[in-house]
């Protein structure tokens, strides 16, 4: 056949008839054709290569007339009919990547573009009862175009292979796959073919991301053809999982996370972890039965990769870890294995650092995700109220447990500051509170913030109700002490991440309003350390303005989430998903956002000085609800970041939001301090959580940080 119909890209002299002379290709590449210059053929052609335009060297596709035997056409028709029948049967268990049939009785001249690219076909055989997949691979052995394009992506990069046995084994199997395809043999390893396609998917993903962003359309996303093919080949036989199956699931998890599908990544990672437990990759005894050192080391690294994925996703999504560290005794990966010496030492140390960080994440996640149901579990704290006079009561707390605690007593009835210590009501109406409501630091605490309560010990304090509440009407008042108190271990100042509930007896006190009026309010006794001022100056002014702006952003986003966002996330912080509670929370947050948006005409007055002496140890800020005054303490400016993206962390923005919810002028009734920190706040009942200031601050932080 004439040579002018041969492909200019992939000539194979062994497949051509003998020629008397070489004829020039009349098919020029598009660049040579447009510039009207002679094209030498090949990819790239001489002109494009000389001009350093190899990437622009493309040939036009042409429809060709081909000569084939009738027997071959009948074979294609038969296979096409079988393929359609299999598709209609809906079977997906048995898939095969098949070689194209050879035209033994005729010749078939391939199209230019088809010869320059590998081709893949997925065919279902329709056998729903089979559990094995027979895989073969069809690919052109001439991959010059594909290889040149791939290498061009790294033209300015230093390519440094991992050099691990796993990497080398993968490359050997890849070479074997192409060698088998070139002689018509099929691969019967569906697990490895699945890995092959998901690796291609990852390469496609990151290659697309590294291209010139100016050439991409606004809504362009990386293609997912390879990934969908890999999903079709994913094994779902879990009875005796292999390490390679676990590796495949990790690759699926990694790919899903790169696409922003965090929940899918979490599920794939979770399946990988469950499969890892079946052969006991987490146990030294089971894994030490592997005699091959390379396989042993690879199994260790697979396990610790699974472990890292589980910790990262659990922390990011705020979910409990799947396995505890106490259940793991397999050693961390080793660098002493000679077969791993090509693995870059810096990468090895980076891997170990990731494992160590994941172990720390596990401790934090376990603590933060441990929810204590304070209404159902028995507390070791017993609180008793007894009357001492007209408006004075004695509160006694006893530790009936066997464990001693260091109580974080700030904001409770044990606090000497004029805080909201008790629930005082008259005829079902709450007595107006005249003291201050504080936001307390929960990290870097000192001994001054704790009171030790030994097992069996009792602490007694006296509370003068008239100093803290307006008792302007004579009659019976009900007094109750209830809430939760965080704690640290004895002789420690680091909060444990848990809290102890307490609820006293309800005490009835007969109040003489005239006598109560003779008692001076606690806040009026305090010395005003600076003159009251309506603004701040210098860096404090800048910090307050920024914090108010961020408070507006966070409160607005949280209000939207409360109205129409995740029900489970709302349930986590407010213990209900009722529309009434969601609307109440959203309304309060919108009111806070509105007040934070104004620095001149708001409902509250902001101070950067300790106007009522409430800035004791560990106090970030406090609110005087009776006047809607908010004062920010030195700790607010020196220790808090402006805005943090960390879950359950404190910053200036959420501290402003916390204090704004206290002010009844912003939204009535104002909130209380029923529980400080994530553990205590998420352990409150719904009725207490909706009136707890820290619940709003933590919820807004969770929405902003994606907890």
Neighbours of 147 (CB within 10 A): 10
Q: Annotate 499-565 with DSSP letters as a single string.
A: EEEEE-PPEEEEE-HHHHHTSPPHHHHS--SS---S---HHHHHHHHHHHHHHHHHHHHHHHHHHHS
Residue 673 annotated as lining a ligand binding site: yes
Is the pLDDT at 358 greater than 70? The verdict is no
Q: For position 661, what pLDDT does the model report?
A: 95
Residue 335 annotated as binding site: no
pLDDT at residue 363, rounded to an integer: 57
Fold entry, domain 26-56 = CD2-Gal4 (4.10.240)
Confidence of residue 6 (pLDDT cuts 50, 70, 90): very low
Confidence class for position 480, pLDDT limits 50, 70, 90: very high
Segment 7-43, tens digit of pLDDT: 333 344 444 444 545 455 557 888 888 888 888 888 8
- The model's pLDDT over 53-64, given as tens digits with 9 standing for 90+, comes to 888 888 887 666
Question: What CATH code is assigned to 538-705?
Answer: 3.40.390.10
Q: At 241, is the pLDDT very low, low, confident or very high (cuts 50, 70, 90)?
A: confident
d(CA 429, CA 419): 19
Mean pLDDT of all residues belonging to the chain: 76
Write the DSSP assignment of 133-161 as a string of letters. Answer: --------S--HHHHHHHHHTTTTS----
Residue 352 clears pLDDT 70, i.e. is over it: no
Which of 94-103, 109-118, 318-327 has maximum average pLDDT? 318-327
Task: Supply the pLDDT for residue 94.
Answer: 41
Q: Would you list the domain boundaries of the chain?
A: 26-56, 126-208+222-333+348-359, 381-517, 538-705
pLDDT at 347: 58
More confident residue, 345 or 573: 573
Check residue 383 and give its pLDDT.
94
The verdict on whether residue 329 carries a ligand-binding annotation is no
Model pLDDT for residues 547-568, shown as the tens digit of each residue? 999 999 999 999 999 999 998 9
Give the confidence band of 299 by pLDDT, cuts at 50, 70, 90.
confident
* Cα 361 to Cα 315: distance, rounded to the nearest angstrom: 7
Do residues 334 and 296 lie in contact, with contact meaning Cβ atoms separated by under 8 Å? no
Query: Mean pLDDT lowest for which of 50-54, 578-582, 662-666?
Result: 50-54
Mean pLDDT of 372-396: 80
Report the pLDDT value the prediction gives residue 367, as an integer from 0 to 100: 53
Q: d(Cα 280, Cα 338) in Å, to the nearest integer?
A: 25
Strands of 389-516 (E only): list them.
392-399, 405-408, 423-426, 429-430, 437-440, 450-453, 458-464, 475-480, 482-488, 495-503, 507-511
More confident: 322 or 635: 635
The pLDDT > 90 percentage for the chain reads 23
The pLDDT of residue 221: 52
**Distance separating alpha carbons of residues 382 and 454, to the nearest angstrom:** 13
> Average pLDDT of 226-242?
81
Hey, what CATH topology would domain 381-517 get?
Immunoglobulin-like (2.60.40)
Least confident of 9-18, 48-57, 207-216, 245-254: 9-18
* Catalytic sites, residue numbers: 659
Residue 51 has pLDDT above 60, yes or no: yes
pLDDT value of residue 151: 45
Cα(433)–Cα(694) distance, integer angstroms = 18
């Amino acid at each position: 056949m004439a040579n002018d119909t041969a492909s200019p890209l992939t000539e194979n002299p062994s497949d051509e008839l003998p020629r008397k002379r070489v004829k020039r290709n009349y098919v020029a590449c598009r660049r040579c054709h447009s510039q009207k210059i002679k094209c030498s053929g090949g990819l790239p052609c001489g002109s494009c290569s000389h001009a350093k335009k190899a990437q622009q060297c493309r040939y036009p596709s042409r429809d060709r007339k081909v000569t084939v035997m009738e027997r071959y056409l009948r074979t294609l028709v038969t296979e096409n009919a079988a393929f359609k029948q299999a598709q209609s049967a809906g079977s997906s268990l048995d898939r095969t990547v098949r070689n194209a049939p050879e035209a033994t009785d005729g010749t078939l001249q391939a199209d230019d573009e088809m010869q320059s690219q590998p081709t893949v076909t997925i065919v279902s055989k329709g056998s729903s009862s089979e559990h094995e997949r027979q895989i073969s691979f069809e690919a052109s052995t001439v991959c010059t175009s594909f290889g040149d394009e791939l290498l061009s992506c790294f033209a300015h990069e230093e390519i440094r292979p991992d050099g691990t046995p796993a990497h080398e084994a993968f490359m050997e199997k890849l070479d074997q796959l192409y060698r088998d395809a070139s002689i018509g043999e099929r691969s019967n390893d569906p697990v490895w073919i699945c890995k092959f396609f998901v690796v291609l998917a990852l390469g496609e993903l990151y290659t697309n991301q590294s291209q010139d962003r100016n050439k991409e359309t606004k809504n362009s996303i990386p293609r997912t053809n390879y990934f969908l093919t890999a999903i079709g080949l994913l094994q779902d036989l879990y009875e005796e999982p292999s390490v390679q199956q676990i590796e495949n699931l990790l690759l699926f998890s990694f790919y899903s996370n790169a696409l922003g599908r965090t929940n899918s990544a979490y599920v794939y990672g979770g399946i990988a972890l469950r499969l890892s437990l079946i052969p006991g990759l987490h146990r030294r005894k089971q894994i030490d039965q592997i005699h091959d050192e390379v396989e042993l080391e690879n199994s260790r690294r697979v396990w610790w990769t699974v472990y890292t994925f589980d910790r990262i996703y659990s922390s990011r999504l705020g979910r409990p870890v799947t396995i505890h560290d106490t259940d793991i005794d397999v050693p961390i990966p080793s660098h002493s294995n000679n077969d791993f010496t090509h693995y870059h030492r810096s990468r090895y140390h980076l891997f170990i650092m990731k494992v160590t960080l994941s172990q720390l994440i596990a401790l934090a996640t376990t603590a933060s995700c441990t929810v204590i149901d304070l209404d159902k579990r028995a507390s070791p704290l017993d609180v008793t109220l007894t009357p001492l006079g007209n408006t004075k009561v004695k509160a006694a707390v006893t530790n009936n447990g066997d464990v001693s605690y260091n109580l974080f007593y700030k904001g409770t009835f044990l606090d000497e500051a004029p805080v909201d210590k008790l629930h005082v009501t008259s005829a079902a109406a709450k007595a107006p509170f005249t003291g201050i409501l504080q936001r307390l630091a929960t990290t870097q605490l000192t001994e001054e913030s704790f009171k030790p309560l030994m097992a069996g010990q009792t602490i007694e304090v006296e509370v003068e109700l008239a100093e803290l509440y307006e008792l302007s009407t004579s009659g019976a008042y009900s007094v109750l002490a209830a809430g939760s108190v965080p704690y640290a271990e004895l002789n420690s100042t680091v909060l444990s991440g848990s809290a102890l509930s307490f609820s006293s007896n309800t005490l009835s006190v007969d109040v003489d309003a005239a006598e109560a009026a003779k008692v001076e309010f606690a806040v009026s006794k305090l010395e005003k350390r600076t003159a009251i001022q309506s603004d701040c100056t210098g860096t404090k002014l800048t910090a307050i303005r920024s914090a108010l702006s961020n408070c507006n952003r966070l409160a607005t986003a949280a209000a939207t989430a409360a109205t129409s966002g995740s029900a489970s996330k709302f349930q986590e912080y407010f213990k209900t998903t009722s529309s009434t509670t969601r609307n109440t929370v959203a309304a309060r947050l919108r009111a806070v956002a509105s007040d934070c948006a104004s620095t001149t005409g708001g409902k509250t007055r902001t101070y950067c000085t300790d106007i009522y002496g409430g800035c004791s140890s560990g106090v970030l800020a406090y609110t005087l609800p009776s006047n809607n005054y908010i004062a920010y303490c030195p700790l607010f400016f020196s220790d808090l970041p402006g805005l943090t993206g960390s879950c359950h962390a404190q910053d200036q923005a959420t501290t402003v939001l916390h204090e704004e919810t206290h002010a009844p002028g912003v939204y009535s009734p104002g909130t209380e301090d029923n529980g400080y920190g994530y553990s205590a706040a998420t352990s409150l009942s719904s009725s207490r959580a909706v009136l707890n200031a820290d619940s709003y601050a933590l919820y807004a932080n969770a929405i902003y940080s994606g907890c």
